[in-house]
C-alpha cells in the first residue's frame, strides 16, 4: 500500500479514523480522462454535529499540550509531505487537472505551511499591557476552540492546509469540508499526513459534502470560527449565516485582477507575464489576471504577441503529456467559460486566439477590442481568458483598474518601479505586485482581498494568530482593593 493509497478512504470520511458517513459515497474522477481514481464518502448535515462534538472534546486536551509538542506534530507533518511529495503531486495533477509544475508548487507550499505553523506555536502567548492601576495587566491569546474550514476545488491542497495547519498549531481542533470534486488533495491527504504525524484522534475531521454540510458547519454551535475560500456569491451567504449566529468568519473570495502594462514596460517580458497570469491552471485561480489594461502605444504589439503565445501553448492531459494547460474542472465550468467568451465576441470583441474547446480542454483565449461592459471583462471568468482593454494615460489606467467590485491582486508592469508603486496607491487591492503578474503565494506572506474579494488579508504569522485565537484580558493584584461600598 502506498502512503496516499485510495483504499484508505474508500467510501469513507475521516473522523480521527476512516468512517462510513451518512450520505453515501461518490467517485473521485481524474479530470482529464473521467477515470475513477477511487471513491469518497459523502457527509451530510447530520455528520457535522457529531464531528464538532468529538472535535470540541479533543480540543481541550490539545490546547493544554505544550507548544513544543504541537510544533513537533506540525514539523512531522511537513516532513511527511516532503517525503511523499511525488505521490501527492500525482494526486493533485490527476484530481485537479493541474500541470506537474503547479502541483509541485502546491506540495511545496503545503510543506511550508506546516513548517510556518510549527513556528507559529512558538510565538508569545500574549503581552504585558500598561495599566493605570497597581496591578499586572496581561493580554493572553487562547485558542478559539473548533475551527470550520471550507475549501474549493481549484488549488485545494494549499487552500485547505493554509487554515488547517495554523489552526491546529495554535491549539484548536478543525472540521474541514473539501469540495466533493477534490476530496483527496483537499482533505484526505491532509488527514493521512496528520494521522501519521501523531496528531491525537478527534482533532481533525474531513467531511466532503455539498452546500448542506457547509451550512451546517456555519450554524453548528460548537464551531466558533469559519475559514471559507470560494466564490463571492457563496461567501456572501456564508457571511450572512455566520453573522446571524454571531460567529467570526474569514472570507477569501473571487477576483477579477488587473494586469496594467505601462508604455515603458519590457514588452516581451510583459507578454510572458500576462500569459502566465491568465493561463496558469486554466485560469482557475482567484488571483488570475482577468483584465489586461495595456497602454495604447504598445497594445497592438502586446495583443499580437499574447495571441501567438496562446496559439502555441499545448493543452492536454497533464498526467501523460507535457502540456501547459490541463482540463477545466467539469462541464459546468467549461460551459460557463465558453458562454462568457461567446457573449463577449457577440458584443463586438475580436477573438485574437482560442475560444474553442475539446471536451474539458479549453484553448487559451485572447480577446481584443474589449469594452468594460462586456461579460468576459466585467465578470470573473475562472478560465484561460485574457481580455485586453487599452488606455491612453496613467489616470485612465488607474480609473480602469479601480473600476471593479473585486480587489484581490494587482499587477503593474513598468520600466520605472517607483512609477508603478505610485500608481498602485491609487487602486484598491489586497495584494500588489510591481513588475510581476498577479498569481503569487508564499506561506510567510499575508493573503486576502478587499471589497467583493473578501474580508482582508489574513494568512501569514500575525494574521493567523488573529484568526485562530481569542484575546483574553487578565489582571492580577497583590491584594483585594477596598471599594467605597
User: Which tens digits make up the pLDDT trace of 226-246?
Assistant: 999 999 999 999 999 999 999
What number is the average pLDDT over the span 302-306? Answer: 98
Rounded Cα distance between 390 and 294, Å, is: 5
Over residues 57-81, the pLDDT tens digits come to 999 999 999 999 999 999 999 999 9
Q: Say if residue 323's pLDDT is above 90.
A: yes
Residue 444 has pLDDT above 90, yes or no: no
Q: Could you give the CA distance from residue 178 to residue 32 in angstroms, rounded to a whole number? A: 20
pLDDT band at 460 (very low <50, low <70, confident <90, very high): confident
pLDDT for 202-227, tens place per residue? 999 999 999 999 999 999 999 999 99
> H or E segment at 358?
strand 357-358
Q: What pLDDT score was predicted for residue 446? A: 85
Q: Determine the pLDDT at residue 445.
A: 86
| 252 is an active site residue | yes
| C-alpha cell at position 61 | 486536551
Contacts of residue 66, Cβ cutoff 8 Å, sequence gap at least 6: none
What percent of the chain is modeled with pLDDT above 70? 100
| pLDDT of res. 321 | 97
Fill in the DSSP letter of residue 187: I
Residue whose C-alpha is closest to residue 204's, from 51, 40, 31: 51
Report the C-alpha gap between 468 and 56 in whole angstroms.
Answer: 15
pLDDT tens track for 114-143: 999 999 999 999 999 999 999 999 999 999
Mean pLDDT of 316-332: 98
Question: Left if phi > 0, otherwise alpha if psi is -120 to 50, otherwise beta: which for 228?
Answer: beta
Instruction: Indicate which residue of 240, 252, 396, 442 is catalytic.
Output: 252
Task: List helix spans (H) across 280-359.
Answer: 299-312, 331-346
Band of residue 106 on the pLDDT scale cut at 50, 70, 90: very high
Smallest CA-to-CA distance from 143 within 467, 484, 479 is with 467
Q: Mean pLDDT score of the chain, rounded to an integer? A: 97
Confidence tier at 456 by pLDDT (50, 70, 90)? confident
CA dist 459 and 481 (Å) reads 43
CA atoms within 13 A on the CB side of 200: 20
| Cα three-residue angle 125-55-138, rounded to 5 degrees | 20
pLDDT in tens, 246-284: 999 999 999 999 999 999 999 999 999 999 999 999 999
Res 458 pLDDT > 90: no
Average pLDDT over residues 26-48: 97
Paired with 290 in beta bridges are none
Higher pLDDT pick, 356 / 447: 356
Burial class (CB in 10 A: 0-12, 13-18, 19+), 268: exposed
Instruction: Look at residue 423 and tell me whether its pLDDT is greater than 90.
Output: yes
Cα separation, 346 vs 218, in Å, equals 41
Q: Residue 314's CB: how many other CB atoms inside 10 A?
A: 10
Count of CB atoms situated within 10 Å of the CB of 361 = 19
Q: How many CA atoms lie within 13 A of 446 on its CB side?
A: 17
C-beta atoms surrounding 272 within 10 Å = 15
Give CA separation, 377 vs 195, 355, 392, in Å.
45, 15, 18
Give the Cα separation of 174 and 288 in Å (integer). Answer: 29
pLDDT tens digit string along 167-184?
Answer: 999 999 999 999 999 999
pLDDT at residue number 23: 93
Q: How confident is the model at residue 313 (pLDDT cuts 50, 70, 90)?
A: very high
Q: pLDDT at position 1, please?
A: 87
> Residue 126 in 3-state DSSP?
strand
Amino acid at each position: 500500500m502506498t502512503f496516499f493509497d485510495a483504499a484508505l478512504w474508500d467510501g469513507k470520511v475521516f473522523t480521527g479514523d476512516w468512517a462510513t458517513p451518512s450520505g453515501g459515497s461518490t467517485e473521485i474522477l481524474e479530470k482529464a480522462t473521467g477515470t475513477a481514481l477511487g471513491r469518497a464518502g459523502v457527509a451530510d448535515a447530520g455528520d457535522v454535529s457529531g464531528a464538532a462534538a468529538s472535535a470540541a472534546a479533543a480540543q481541550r486536551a490539545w490546547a493544554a499540550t505544550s507548544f513544543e509538542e504541537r510544533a513537533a506534530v506540525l514539523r512531522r507533518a511537513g516532513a511527511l509531505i516532503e517525503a511523499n511529495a511525488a505521490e501527492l503531486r500525482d494526486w493533485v495533477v490527476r484530481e485537479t487537472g493541474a500541470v506537474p509544475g503547479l502541483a509541485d508548487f502546491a506540495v511545496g507550499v503545503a510543506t511550508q505551511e506546516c513548517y510556518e505553523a510549527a513556528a507559529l506555536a512558538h510565538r508569545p502567548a500574549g503581552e504585558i499591557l500598561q495599566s493605570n492601576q497597581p496591578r499586572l495587566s496581561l493580554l493572553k491569546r487562547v485558542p478559539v476552540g473548533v475551527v470550520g474550514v471550507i475549501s474549493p476545488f481549484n488549488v485545494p491542497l494549499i487552500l485547505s492546509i493554509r487554515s488547517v495547519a495554523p489552526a491546529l498549531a495554535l491549539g484548536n481542533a478543525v472540521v474541514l469540508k473539501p469540495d466533493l470534486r477534490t476530496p483527496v488533495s483537499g482533505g484526505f491527504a491532509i488527514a493521512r499526513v496528520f494521522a501519521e504525524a501523531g496528531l491525537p484522534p478527534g482533532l481533525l475531521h474531513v467531511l466532503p459534502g455539498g452546500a448542506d454540510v457547509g451550512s451546517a458547519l456555519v450554524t453548528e454551535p460548537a464551531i466558533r470560527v469559519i475559514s471559507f475560500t470560494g466564490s463571492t456569491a457563496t461567501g456572501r451567504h456564508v457571511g450572512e449565516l455566520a453573522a446571524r449566529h454571531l460567529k467570526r468568519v474569514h472570507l477569501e473570495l473571487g477576483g477579477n485582477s488587473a494586469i496594467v502594462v505601462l508604455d515603458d514596460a519590457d514588452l516581451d517580458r510583459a507578454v510572458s507575464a500576462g500569459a502566465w497570469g491568465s493561463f496558469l491552471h486554466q485560469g482557475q485561480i482567484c488571483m488570475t489576471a482577468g483584465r489586461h489594461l495595456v497602454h495604447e502605444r504598445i497594445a497592438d504589439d502586446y495583443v499580437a504577441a499574447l495571441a501567438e503565445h496562446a496559439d502555441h501553448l499545448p493543452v492536454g492531459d497533464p498526467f501523460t503529456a507535457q502540456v501547459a494547460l490541463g482540463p477545466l474542472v467539469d462541464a459546468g465550468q467549461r460551459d460557463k467559460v465558453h458562454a462568457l467568451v461567446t457573449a463577449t465576441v457577440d458584443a463586438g470583441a475580436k477573438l485574437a486566439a482560442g475560444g474553442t474547446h475539446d471536451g474539458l480542454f479549453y484553448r487559451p483565449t485572447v480577446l481584443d477590442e474589449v469594452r468594460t461592459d462586456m461579460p468576459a471583462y466585467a465578470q470573473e471568468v475562472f478560465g484561460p481568458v485574457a481580455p485586453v482593454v487599452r488606455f491612453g494615460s496613467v489616470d485612465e489606467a488607474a480609473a480602469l483598474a479601480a473600476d471593479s467590485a473585486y480587489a484581490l491582486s494587482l499587477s503593474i508592469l513598468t520600466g520605472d518601479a517607483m512609477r508603478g508603486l505610485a500608481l498602485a496607491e491609487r487602486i484598491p487591492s489586497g495584494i500588489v505586485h510591481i513588475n510581476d503578474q498577479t498569481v503569487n503565494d508564499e506561506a510567510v506572506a499575508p493573503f486576502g482581498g478587499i471589497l467583493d474579494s473578501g474580508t482582508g488579508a489574513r494568512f501569514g504569522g500575525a494574521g493567523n494568530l488573529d484568526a485562530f485565537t481569542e484575546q483574553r484580558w487578565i489582571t492580577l493584584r497583590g491584594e483585594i482593593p477596598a471599594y467605597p461600598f
